[in-house]
Structure 1
């Protein structure tokens, strides 16, 4: 048995399914990545504030007024940090301009960080005073536009050594170098652990938007192909029909026999146009099993779905042209259903000829939460057509898996695969 496997690897980012030419906003991969980033960035910032500053506030040696002021400032800074970073991670809608920075929360967080810096510094704690200001600067840089972000970071880096160094010089405690350089290092570290994951989030969001556009373009390309086929057929036939009808009108009085012959030709052309149009609508024209399988792989990949295809058409018997077209339509309908109705991350297409029977099986893992009935009239219509051709089409919903299976008898004298 020859088993040819085509596999399209999923990229980083979400899954989006096509629906009515658009894109259904349901991206499990990106949602999980956002959840991880939320816990890692805002969670880390708030945890550092609570652990380091909270431990200092709980120290009984710290004066009560300083503890009270720092506790209120810690609460304001922690809440503002969580809100600012949550808004920064909120997925923007396609085409929606970025909103203005939340100045109220920035002011609340900045005021709280200033208190949490001034009180420990006044008490000579050179290792703690820069924690809250450094974290708040990194968070403010994350929500500001790029131009203002650069100005903020430059000013913060230039000013970071000044308060601690000045306080150490005034106290003459010999810790000028530590008091000056530690806040700068803490600022760099805070910006690194905050802005780095947010940059990765932005890259993933842009990749997701590119995949969304790719999936939309795949659907639009298919519509354009159908429109071009229909235009080619109708344009040619209608042009000839118009010319022959005009000729018949001119000959009606002078040569009735020839006029009747021309009108008979018009009738024949109209019948051909109707047949060709039906062929396009039903998918016969330029629809083959091999092309539809290849197209399914490309379209599913554009929607960020792992598409694995197993092909073994080397069994005894061959499918006739009409049978290959029918199975091609099953692949097309199955692919459309995956994009439109599922939340799949993986899909499989298995086609093989065994025991004189062609068997096509399509499955995906995105049916969780869907009803057990058929996704629409498309499969029921195809089931009737396969039944008329001596085959069978079934579908099954089991947990999060949806499977479509088609069988057709292979004709030993049929055309080549």
Structure 2
């Protein structure tokens, strides 16, 4: 049973809708063929054989034009202009011949001629609607079909009979035009949704890759800078035969192992930065580089874990930039958490501010515009926060992160 139904179950939703739509038009082709052949059988025997070939050719061309028009609607081939022109010419010739035969009394006295005329014109408008891309053009098809059948009838038959032709053709053409046009629109919509779903999946993969690259940059940036700094210091101490070189290399080994652990955490997606650890780490690293580093925490309360993580990444990236860029001698890291009023709201504007200021050599770059700062802005944007980086005009550079007070809650923070 699975082999019999697998050809259907293994298809995508868009492929299922397309298969259903195409087989629906094959069914329309069969309905037209049966209706035309049945009506042709009621005609005189000396007329029916002459009309058999064009009558049977009409539903075949309907199926061919419908299939190619659906391919065009899905962007798989060019518009089937030649097929539409040939199908229209066959319809006009067939209708004209039937009306002339009926007017001359050679088509019999039954309803065979009206049935064939109405069916051929109606199915022709339905197929032609598939080859059009504008709704206003499709809307003109039923009226054009009614004129095509009504004017020759008015010239050859009584007015009431001509009006009956025009009305029947108009109503059936309107139904077939709407059905075919709606089927094509539905098929295109389903395929567009399917492509949008694939694009969404691709964007999710790309976003995850960007997140991984950003986290890897944030994790490894400072650690590699510290390893390079301590390795250089160990080399200088070893050349002077100072025993402190061993301590520095032990520290390098510890940082390398910590980097391995952090990279594994990044791969698993569980990496979070701890603000207190990052502040203390920044103080130690910058002091080891010969800088005067001060960490100031002013008043405030406890921070949500995601806020602490975002600020921890800011401290980490800022520390990396201070080590890599400029010739800084001093650095100040200042965290200002707004106090909480008795009503539970933050005092002032309620904005938490983290400033990292450092001096540098004249003409030093104002700051790195690379992926590090872009990644920080993305992290802060998730908390409605902002990031500003630029020179202060006195040879100092400042990186400032601000997070609205509504992201905080009323517990104290210890410096």
TM-score tier, shorter chain, comes to: 0.5 to 0.7
Instruction: Work out the CA distance in 1 between the residues paired with 2:120 and 2:250.
Output: 90
1:111 maps to what in 2?
89
Over the residues paired in the alignment, what is the CA RMSD in angstroms?
Answer: 3.0
1:83 maps to what in 2?
64
Shift in Å, 1:188: 0.8
2:167 maps to what in 1?
181
Instruction: Work out the CA distance in 2 between the residues paired with 1:72 and 1:111.
Output: 15
1:285 maps to what in 2?
270
Counterpart among 130, 139, 156 of residue 142 in structure 1:
130
Instruction: Work out the CA distance in 1 between the residues paired with 2:26 and 2:123.
Output: 10
Query: Which 5+ residue runs of structure 1 have no aligned equivalent?
Result: 1-25, 288-417
Instruction: Work out the CA distance in 2 between the residues paired with 1:128 and 1:209.
Output: 42
After superposition, the C-alpha distances for 1:333-362 in whole angstroms (9 at most, x for unaligned) are: xxxxxxxxxxxxxxxxxxxxxxxxxxxxxx
Query: Which 5+ residue runs of structure 2 have no aligned equivalent?
Result: 1-9, 103-112, 273-415
Shift in Å, 1:50: 0.8
After superposition, the C-alpha distances for 1:175-194 in whole angstroms (9 at most, x for unaligned) are: 23212322222221110121
1:265 maps to what in 2?
251
Structure 1 window deviating more from structure 2 (28-37 vs 233-242): it is 28-37
1:55 maps to what in 2?
38
Per the alignment, do residues 76 and 184 of structure 1 end up closer, same or farther by CA in structure 2, a change over 3 Å counting? same
Counterpart among 28, 32, 42 of residue 26 in structure 2:
42
1:347 maps to what in 2?
none
Cα contact 1:88–1:143 (8 A) shared by 2: yes
1:99 maps to what in 2?
77
Cα contact 1:244–1:266 (8 A) shared by 2: yes
Per the alignment, do residues 200 and 229 of structure 1 end up closer, same or farther by CA in structure 2, a change over 3 Å counting? same
Does structure 1 residue 246 correspond to structure 2 residue 232? yes
Cα contact 2:219–2:262 (8 A) shared by 1: yes
Pair member with larger Rg: 2
Partner of 1:99, secondary structure, is: coil
Partner of 1:61, secondary structure, is: coil
Instruction: Work out the CA distance in 1 between the residues paired with 2:53 and 2:37.
Output: 11
Instruction: Work out the CA distance in 1 between the residues paired with 2:69 and 2:152.
Output: 35
Partner of 2:116, secondary structure, is: coil
Shift in Å, 1:98: 5.1
Shift in Å, 1:284: 7.1
1:227 maps to what in 2?
213
Shift in Å, 1:101: 1.5
2:398 maps to what in 1?
none
TM-score between both structures, scaled by the size of structure 1 = 0.53
2:15 maps to what in 1?
31
Shift in Å, 1:119: 2.4
Paired positions, count: 253
After superposition, the C-alpha distances for 1:38-84 in whole angstroms (9 at most, x for unaligned) are: 2223322x1332122111222242643xx344322233322222223
2:191 maps to what in 1?
205
Instruction: Work out the CA distance in 2 between the residues paired with 1:105 and 1:162.
Output: 20
Shift in Å, 1:155: 6.0
Shift in Å, 1:156: 5.6
After superposition, the C-alpha distances for 1:110-144 in whole angstroms (9 at most, x for unaligned) are: 33322332222223334531321331222122123
TM-score between both structures, scaled by the size of structure 2 = 0.53
